[in-house]
Structure 1
Amino acid sequence: MSAADIKTAGPEVSVPRAPDGDGPAPSAPRKSGWTNGPLLPYLLIAPAVVAIAAVFVWPLIKTVIMSFQDVGRRELWTGEAADWVGFEQFTNILGDGEFYDVVWRTVLFMVICVAATLAAGLFLAHSMQRMSKAVRLLLTGALIAAWSLPLLVATSIFRWFADSDYGVANMVLTKYLGFDFQGHNWWLDPKQGFLMIGAVVVWGAIPFVAVTLYAALTQVPSELEEAAKLDGAGRLGVFRYVTWPVIKPVFQMVATLSVIWDFNVFGQVFLMRGNKPEKEYNLLGLYSYEKAFESNSFSQGAAIALITVLLLSGVAVYYLRQLLKIGEVE
């Protein structure tokens, strides 16, 4: 080799060959910063964030704006700018005695429904522990079927139960229990009417509570229960000192959800009263609906809805704290 050849010759570069040896191997795909960078988690949750903002956040913002305006039918349908009235809507609502009656009725109805739901759900969850596998699966299927039943169908069934002429409730009370309920109208007395409405609410909520608490009960160590029984603890003692500390976080979470759901009851009352509930059956959700769509005072309806959100904000914060505690324990 001549000196010129040595001078012009460069270092040897090995070219990767394909497995079959016919040509160079394909280069590895280049990773983009959009697919493996720090923005990837935010890109993945972006559709969910947009959907939540569209369904929940934007309506809440519009509700807040409307509550400080005087929006009537004309402004609602034509899009004209409504007059700003400041806190006038809240002053009118808080100065109305009917509002406090509705709040008290809503709180009392919620407390009774939540207490009945939790008691019945906990009883069913304990019973499921002592059932055979086949019976437990059958009951679980029945609970899930009841939970998935549409609200319109459930209310129609309970309206038939409470029918004054052909209702099952009147027939059972008269024929089998010896009471005189023949042709009895349950809706003349709001207390009796709310008993039927509460039955629909509790019946629809029990499946979730029972299945959730049963799942929590399965996490209680059986050896601890056996040790407590050997030490002389009765059923109440075993539940208080062994079972309850384990299921308490789940029970609190279920109770908080029940408070939120039962405080916002609307469809059960609306449908059970044939879409025209009397004033004696007004809860906060119905009261807001009546002011907005029957009195055409949409701003007052928005203000009542906002007050409801504020009343439930403390419960929502407590629920989030319980979720965080459960996450820390896990």
Structure 2
Amino acid sequence: MGDRGEWLRAQGARRRCRSGPQVSRWWFPVLGAAGGIAYAIKKHRAVREVLPELRAPWLYLPTPVPPLLPWPAVNRGAARAGRRLMRRQTRVRNGVALERRVLDLTAGEVALYLYEPPQRSRPSGALLWIHGGAQVAGHPEQDHDLCSMMAEDLQILVVSVDYRLAPEHLFPAAHEDCYAALRWMHEHAADMGIDPNRVAVAGASAGGGLAATVAQHAHDEHLPVAVQVLVYPMLDDRSTLRADGGGRGRLSLTPALNRYAWTSYLGHHPTEADPGRYAAAARRSNLRGLAPAWIGVGDLDLLHDDAVVYAHRLRAAGVRCELHLESGMYHGADAGPTSTAASMTAFRARISAAIGSATAARPC
């Protein structure tokens, strides 16, 4: 009996030892649920500010941001994996011909996608479109619908550039690819049947920022640009130095994602020091003589303040600039599931109108 009693006491002690951690593990789901509820409440407050037709369930989800680790190879692998998950392709409008051409540059090959509308009058205007993707993602295929729509509706040739992405390719790779595409359009204007004085440059998000620096570069090299159309553009790397994002950016493009994008693009964390010519459009001190501009951004967008400041600076420098602020719009709301909303259809119509007025044939 003595041995059996000792054995029972030992078993009870073991159960008591095990029961401690088992009870404590119940706190993990409780704390997780509490954290999730707090996050959802915070997100709900942000979503309430969104135009009702632009509200979507995914807005309640956290924006994934890959970590920037001290191992470049790991960062590059994470970026490639993210691109594969996010890659999407839209359809080309019926009747619009799509052609892929490859430029052989010193740094390597750069693909261009040409959208040719039926029965285009020659010479016509043209557009260089630069896709978005936070400097680290995106592909011309995601804008097949937009580019083919503008080609047909405006009866112009649209060229979309598949520029090199960070973090594999740091600044100035993307800028150089986009500027090379514009220069190629001018050099082959006669062959393609376009008027070099009616070539517009446009882009969204990271593409909008690149469109702005391409317009600056074109001015410096005396290359005509009819208009620069900047759609919620990434203009200033110093936006990452604002801890709270200026009170905006709680949806879609967040301060954390903005920091990741600029750090990946520049190869280092942004500082007050100038990262280099054409790295960020807002860094340029003299804006005189630049191409006329149209800038559009949502009032909930993290990039709202940078866009407004840049527009005011352009106007102060004597550059004609139209600024459109879209109420209740977050970053990228005109793409994806909410793109068919009436407000976003009107937003895209404003973009097309700005391009169309600059690329239309001039009366004799």
What's the TM-score once normalised by structure 2's chain length?
Answer: 0.24
More strand by share: 2
What's the TM-score once normalised by structure 1's chain length?
Answer: 0.26
Higher RCO, 1 vs 2 (CA within 8 Å, ≥6 residues apart): 1
